[in-house]
Structure 1
Amino acid sequence: MNPGDFHSLVAEFSSISLDQMDSVSFLTRTDTKYIMNNDRLMDVIREIQKDYYILEIDGTREFSYNSNYVDTAGFGMYFDHHNKRKNRYKCRLRVYENSGLTFWEIKHKTNRNLTIKKRIKINPEGSSEEDIQAFVRKHSPFHFNNLEPKLNSRFTRMTFVNKNMTERVTVDRNLSWQNNSREIHLEGLAIVEVKNESKASLAEIFPVLHKYGIRPGSFSKYTFGCAFLYTDLKQNLLKQKINVLTKYCHATSSKCIDHA
């Protein structure tokens, strides 16, 4: 992918503001994820240009995210995801770097395959630990004092909204993870996620993805970050997908960089 061509293509989209997008900011939703390389991403974006807006804030269309994930000492949340357990959780401190906003966020994947996201804003002057403890206790089965930092995840995101205002499509690129001893970068990879209230309302982007033979698949930044950074963890069910991710990186003459 030529970065100049990519940004020129993104610039052709009509924009939508954050306030206008609020009506499709689903906190309870169905998520469908797709993994592709950047070359295929360009094909998809080119085809949806007439039917989607792109989020723009202060002239910016691709935003930086910085997430610090916590888990139990025994990686309970990781293993719930690895073992495909229902009613699983992720807990993170997320910084929206372009706006400076910071939230503690909890994502809950239910038995009905719905994703419920709860969050509490962290004030610049600091939020009380009691408030954070109460938030975690209310929205998860965990106690905040039993959670510890596991990894940092960074990526950039573009958000597209269909012109019927019924769905959002996020595109995450430039993924990296780090802990105290390692740093991993996946270049040339894109994670596309379609978010709507129900699969009954089929997303407009689905036929485009089908046209290019792109099939849905699961991807958790936290789970794969743990697998990359903590190689002694059990990851039998992830090995095939890790090989796929590596293939996508190499398919674009990019790199899977490990700063061990």
Structure 2
Amino acid sequence: MTAAFPVEALAGLAPVGLAELVERAALQTRVDRKYLVPEAVLPALLGQVAPYAQALDIDGARVFQYRSVYFDTPWLASYHDAAYRRRRRFKVRTRTYLDSGQCGLEVKINGARGSVTKHRLLYDPRDGETVHPGRGFVDEVLARESLGLATGTPLDPVLVTEYRRATLLLPESESRVTIDTDLAWRYGGATLRLSGVAVVETKSASAATPVDRVLWRAGTRPARISKYATGLAALRLDLPDGPWRRTLRRHFRGTIAPATPAPALSPRPEQEASCV
């Protein structure tokens, strides 16, 4: 069973509002480091970073529900670029903040030396499963980045993810940390849930953050995981999975059971991936 997010541990951190978080650490161009950690260690981790971390607080809430819809070409160009580790690649998604109902259409560009640049357009949440209203924005970003996708190439919804997120600000390094739990994926008629593990992601201009150092001292090293690519690889066994094979073997075990019709992401999953 998935453990509850350690809200009590978050309560021990000083609060920070959304406007200040964005002002101090928007980091639209950044270096990301991702870690897979057991949910059981989160209280200890938060306790260690409490002296120099603040928790995003909106009207007293510190954990928020997210839904992302990922779009790709009919031949999964975005996925294959990641699978074959092409240095420059793109990802297109909508992200809906379920607590507030706000939504954004995002284009993420992976560039040299592991840098990530995110372009974002405010979006109508009713359009969260289509790129059509924002297609001009997507084409403009991809053309400016010279990524070679022809204007008008179909971009269809492929994968849906949901998770709960807490966000930390590290003021001294002007960096951010996100902690995602209760991760769930839906592809076609199959769903997958990742139980008992959290994805901790540090986002900085380049240098390691204090959270990176705490994790390194504990023997935890960055993991290869992409919510889109790793989730799709777990659900589509016919796809190349080289970059995420170790993560898949260690954290995504079991058989994905098809379901018809495609179920909503609900508290009772068809399958839970086991974690070591």
Q: If the length of structure 2 is used for normalisation, what is the TM-score?
A: 0.82
- How many Å separate the matches in 1 of 2:95 and 2:188? 18
Partner in structure 2 of residue 164 of structure 1: 172
Partner in structure 2 of residue 107 of structure 1: 108
Partner in structure 2 of residue 155 of structure 1: 163
Superposed CA deviations along residues 114-161 of structure 1, whole A, max 9, x for unmatched, are: 100001111468799776121111112434551111110111110011
CA separation of 1:25 and 1:152: change in aligned 2, threshold 3 A: same
Partner in structure 1 of residue 13 of structure 2: 13
The answer to whether 1:211 aligns with 2:213 is no
- How many Å separate the matches in 1 of 2:271 and 2:197? 15
- How many Å separate the matches in 1 of 2:156 and 2:203? 29
Contact 1:38 1:189 in 2 (8 A): yes
Partner in structure 1 of residue 43 of structure 2: 42
CA separation of 1:72 and 1:207: change in aligned 2, threshold 3 A: same
- How many Å separate the matches in 1 of 2:2 and 2:117? 37
The answer to whether 1:188 aligns with 2:189 is no
Q: Which amino acid aligns with 2:174?
A: T
Matched-pair identity in %: 28
Contact 2:96 2:125 in 1 (8 A): no
Q: Which amino acid aligns with 1:103?
A: G
- How many Å separate the matches in 2 of 1:187 and 1:81? 25
The answer to whether 1:227 aligns with 2:233 is yes
Aligned pairs, number:
250
- How many Å separate the matches in 2 of 1:5 and 1:154? 15
Contact 1:182 1:258 in 2 (8 A): no
Residue of structure 2 aligned with 1:245, choices 218, 242, 251: 251
Q: Which amino acid aligns with 1:19?
A: A
CA separation of 1:218 and 1:126: change in aligned 2, threshold 3 A: closer
CA separation of 1:177 and 1:101: change in aligned 2, threshold 3 A: same
The answer to whether 1:59 aligns with 2:60 is yes
Contact 2:234 2:252 in 1 (8 A): no
Partner in structure 1 of residue 259 of structure 2: none
State which drifts further: 115-124 or 174-183: 115-124
Q: Which amino acid aligns with 1:6?
A: P
Partner in structure 2 of residue 133 of structure 1: 135
Superposed CA deviations along residues 83-108 of structure 1, whole A, max 9, x for unmatched, are: 11111111011111112111110100
The answer to whether 1:84 aligns with 2:82 is no
Superposition deviation, residue 63 in structure 1:
0.7
Q: Which amino acid aligns with 2:105?
A: W
Superposed CA deviations along residues 65-90 of structure 1, whole A, max 9, x for unmatched, are: 10111101111111111111111111
Task: State the SS of the aligned residue for 1:112.
Answer: helix
Contact 1:55 1:158 in 2 (8 A): yes
- How many Å separate the matches in 2 of 1:227 and 1:29? 25
Q: If the length of structure 1 is used for normalisation, what is the TM-score?
A: 0.87
Partner in structure 2 of residue 258 of structure 1: 271
Task: State the SS of the aligned residue for 1:210.
Answer: helix
- How many Å separate the matches in 2 of 1:2 and 1:182? 19
Contact 2:223 2:247 in 1 (8 A): no
Mind listing any 5+ residue stretches in structure 2 that lack a counterpart?
A: 254-267
Superposition deviation, residue 12 in structure 1:
1.2
Task: State the SS of the aligned residue for 1:146.
Answer: coil
CA separation of 1:129 and 1:164: change in aligned 2, threshold 3 A: closer
